[in-house]
Homo-oligomer: A and B are copies of this chain.
Amino acid sequence: MAIEVFKTVTESIDGLQVSCRARDFEFILDEPKSLGGTDIGMNPVEALLGSLGACKVIAAKSFARLHKINLKSVRIELEGELDTDGFMGKNPNAKIGFSKIVSNFYIEADNTEEEIKAYVAFINATCPVADTIKNAPVMESNLFL
A128 & B96 in contact (Cβ 8 Å cutoff): yes
Q: Which of B53, B73, B84, B124 contacts A4 (CB 8 A)?
A: B84
Q: Judging by beta carbons under 8 Å apart, are A8 and B42 in contact?
A: yes
In the complex, what residues of B have CB within 8 A of residue A1's CB?
83, 85, 91, 94
Given contacts A134-B136, A143-B117, contact A18 B96 (CB under 8 A): no
Contact A116 B101, CB 8 Å, known A12-B61, A25-B42, A61-B12 = no
A1-19 toward B: CB 8 Å interface, digit per residue (1/0)? 1111111111110011010
Instruction: Tell me which residues across on chain B come within 8 A of A136, comparing CB atoms.
Output: 133-136
Measured in the bound complex, the distance between the Cα atoms of B76 and A8 in whole Å is 8
